[in-house]
Amino acid sequence: MQTDLSRIALRPFRLSDADDVLSFGGDDQVTRVLRGFKTLTTKDEALNFIKNVCSPHPWRRSICIDDRSIGFVTMFPGSGITTKAAKIALSQVFKDYPDLFRLQSFVAVENKASQRVLDKVGFQREGVLRKYLYLKGDIKYMVVYSFLSSDLSNDLSSNELITHPSSRDESRP
């Protein structure tokens, strides 16, 4: 499915997103890779997730197309939506938190798609943590990525992330 990426936005979750949250949060293929996330089975569970997990978090955002929450974008693999959302998030989070200097991401070694997204938006791979996480019956090796505030350019007005080439250490794996 081809999606017009200009229709992608991030916003705080709303209680009115409960049906959409149940749609992606009720998918075992989505939740099997999420630490601390039990597959949702009812609308009440989705509402509780929004109220108790999403709303209290200072920067948990929903990826939306035309203001409709699409969650973890499993419905649109390879569409560029996740990359666009990550660019928007990186541009905004450093504006919202000017004292923030480092973001980290931990991705299972076998999750190549998420690693590609992080590479595309300028995260730097730092290494692999062996047997780092016990997740739903499996012991996972995790790849650690980082993004520093100094990796951003000064011009983020277009929500398109621009990294300084000189800030990337090309000798790193």
Q: Which domains does the chain have, with CATH numbers?
A: 5-69 (no CATH), 99-167 (3.40.630.30)
Return mean pLDDT, the chain.
84
Binning pLDDT at 50, 70 and 90, where does residue 168 land?
A: very low
Whether 144 contacts 129, CB under 8 Å: yes
Q: What is the pLDDT of residue 13?
A: 93
pLDDT, tens only, 22-64: 988 888 777 776 766 788 999 999 999 999 999 998 888 999 9
Whether 169 contacts 126, CB under 8 Å: no
* 21 SS3 class: helix
Instruction: Give the relative orientation of helices 112-121 and 81-96 as an angle to the nearest 10 degrees.
Output: 50
Whether 149 contacts 101, CB under 8 Å: yes
Query: For 137, left (φ over 0), alpha (ψ -120 to 50), or beta?
Result: left
Binning pLDDT at 50, 70 and 90, where does residue 73 land?
A: low
